[in-house]
Structure 1
């Protein structure tokens, strides 16, 4: 089958040029596995991080967002049948979705929303899982609850921020504040439903004062946590909650002590990586998000479709994502 893999490590610079088309053996479904014929994918920061850190001799297929049709099922599969159209983010420990066929455990997949085309749906699985787990599992926000609380989403114009803004606005009673620094990204965040948008290139206390808010109760820091760390502590109330998904070089937890601020880390691959007892929670989560989309509550976060799934287009997607200026999700569709 055709696939696109990272084939060499960086040698003093970027290794984007080593994202190349390869031919590899078509996998087979076993156990709880679905064998999916991939129709559309999206590109996430995890793709660029794994690519940039690649140092092995063997090539690796990247990609952790997909929509496709079930071609085969393993002997233990009970949730799906051949012909079903599914969406999923997959597992970091397995070959990715930048291939014609991919194996994925049924417990982390769900039926695709019926009202979205393949590209629009492919924009969502990884970010929807991340945003949902971060908001409801890590920060402990309650659906229909948290009236009077204030959520600050740092980096709200990105993939995770775009879906978290919608989830928080539609499913909770929190005041939702998103950060963005450019006019087009600020408009994007506002269009996703944020009550307020502030500029993270300016002091947070000044920006919050501008909109009449002194402190926030919850922070979802989606990028540049190290840069904003002290400011986030300053704007959080005593006993507030701070969650992050990025990878600071260091993170000193001691400044959190005076305010008894709790620290939460979200990594959406944890359940699949360790095959946790609640691994199927991601199946239920994606099914719920599909229902929210089909009922018009949540919208796709598709930002740009770069065309067919080719090595050239995938390299363009990685380059664009690494500028840090992408708004919404970048997708590719069709081999």
Structure 2
């Protein structure tokens, strides 16, 4: 089968930053599906892994990355019960295994959902990783409930990005929150408003912008940009007994003591935790993806696709990574095979 990967971490402009090659079609294990891939999308984790996983060595076998895919089930493992051959599926994958930038991929059925029937393959391909991340951070980490939290305020830092775009929709339409999203360019402001943000504030002067929007403090804050840059700002804006959650990691120790006087909670979110550690509730990602597909088919949620590149080629993967690395992408980018 054809696959695209890399043997060494190189600048994306380099000829060898991605290479096309032939490799054996993988064989599914007991709980695995073998999926023929029709479309993928790219996420910031893709270029971060590409930049950092082979900096000091040349790999013998090219590393295949990619953590979003849509395709058709070709065969199943002996213990598979959730899917059958021929089923259209979508998923975000497992960071400990080979990725989706290939014609075929094996994937554990417990982290796979049925493809939304009303969406095209490219519209579906951009959903899994960001929807799982946003769902988990809102409902598993902060444990927001529409029943008890409806009408509370949430600040989403990075509203026009892939995770921010779907998080706005989930926070507004499923949790019933008052959504404040950050953006600074006219096109990103408009995008956030289209996703359902009640207020769009400028991240370049965030405290003043939030206060000008009428909020002294906010109940919840989601950081999708940079924990270090925004930490003191989040500490200032969070309401006493509020909750901050982040997906961005931290190059420096997080000063949690600054949250003590307000009794504020803090959570990390990593979408790969369940598959990486084979947690007892790993199948929750199947349920989340299935619920998200239902919400998309019902028109409650909408795809965050903003650009499609046609053709499974190294050139298209390079273009997608260049766009992501610019830091100015809006919504999501799909590659249709």
Question: Which category describes the TM-score, using the shorter chain as reference length?
Answer: over 0.9
By how many angstroms is 1:238 displaced?
1.1
Query: CA-atom RMSD, angstroms?
Result: 1.2
CA distance in 1, matches of 2:148, 2:90: 29
CA distance in 2, matches of 1:42, 1:106: 20
Structure 1 residues 138, 191: CA separation in 2 closer, same or farther (over 3 Å shift)?
A: same
Residue 26 of structure 1 is matched in structure 2 by: 25
For 1:7-46, list aligned pairs within 5 A: 7-10=7-10, 13=11, 17=15, 18-46=17-45
- 272, 283, 288: which one aligns with 1:280: 283
Question: Does the 8 Å contact 2:12/2:321 carry over to 1?
Answer: no
- Find the residue that maps to 1:306 and give its secondary structure: strand
Residue 153 of structure 1 is matched in structure 2 by: 156
For 1:135-174, list aligned pairs within 5 A: 135-174=138-177
For 1:68-79, list aligned pairs within 5 A: 68-79=71-82
Deviations 1:81-121 (A, max 9, x none): 11000000010011000000000000000110000000000
Residue 211 of structure 2 is matched in structure 1 by: 209
Alignment partner of 1:312 is 2:311: no
By how many angstroms is 1:145 displaced?
3.8
Residue 5 of structure 2 is matched in structure 1 by: 5
Question: Does the 8 Å contact 2:13/2:318 carry over to 1?
Answer: no
- 222, 229, 240: which one aligns with 2:242: 240
Stretches of 4+ moved more than 4 A in 1?
A: 13-16
CA distance in 2, matches of 1:122, 1:143: 28
Deviations 1:185-206 (A, max 9, x none): 010000000111001011x221
CA distance in 2, matches of 1:291, 1:146: 23
- Find the residue that maps to 1:201 and give its secondary structure: helix
Deviates more, 1:138-147 or 1:315-324: 138-147
For 1:76-155, list aligned pairs within 5 A: 76-155=79-158
CA distance in 2, matches of 1:48, 1:100: 20
By how many angstroms is 1:225 displaced?
1.9
By how many angstroms is 1:183 displaced?
0.6
By how many angstroms is 1:307 displaced?
1.4
Question: Does the 8 Å contact 2:12/2:318 carry over to 1?
Answer: no
Count, aligned residues: 331
Residue 260 of structure 2 is matched in structure 1 by: 257
By how many angstroms is 1:285 displaced?
0.3
CA distance in 2, matches of 1:187, 1:271: 34
- 230, 233, 241: which one aligns with 2:232: 230
Question: Does the 8 Å contact 1:15/1:51 carry over to 2?
Answer: no
Question: Does the 8 Å contact 2:4/2:21 carry over to 1?
Answer: yes
By how many angstroms is 1:15 displaced?
7.3
CA distance in 2, matches of 1:248, 1:185: 25
Question: Does the 8 Å contact 2:33/2:109 carry over to 1?
Answer: yes
TM-score by length of 1: 0.96
Question: Does the 8 Å contact 1:159/1:329 carry over to 2?
Answer: yes
CA distance in 2, matches of 1:50, 1:199: 30
Residue 189 of structure 1 is matched in structure 2 by: 192
CA distance in 1, matches of 2:77, 2:269: 30
Structure 1 residues 144, 289: CA separation in 2 closer, same or farther (over 3 Å shift)?
A: farther
- Find the residue that maps to 2:261 and give its secondary structure: coil
CA distance in 2, matches of 1:222, 1:280: 25
Unaligned 5+ runs, structure 2: none
By how many angstroms is 1:147 displaced?
2.6
TM-score by length of 2: 0.96
CA distance in 2, matches of 1:252, 1:283: 35
Deviates more, 1:122-131 or 1:222-231: 222-231
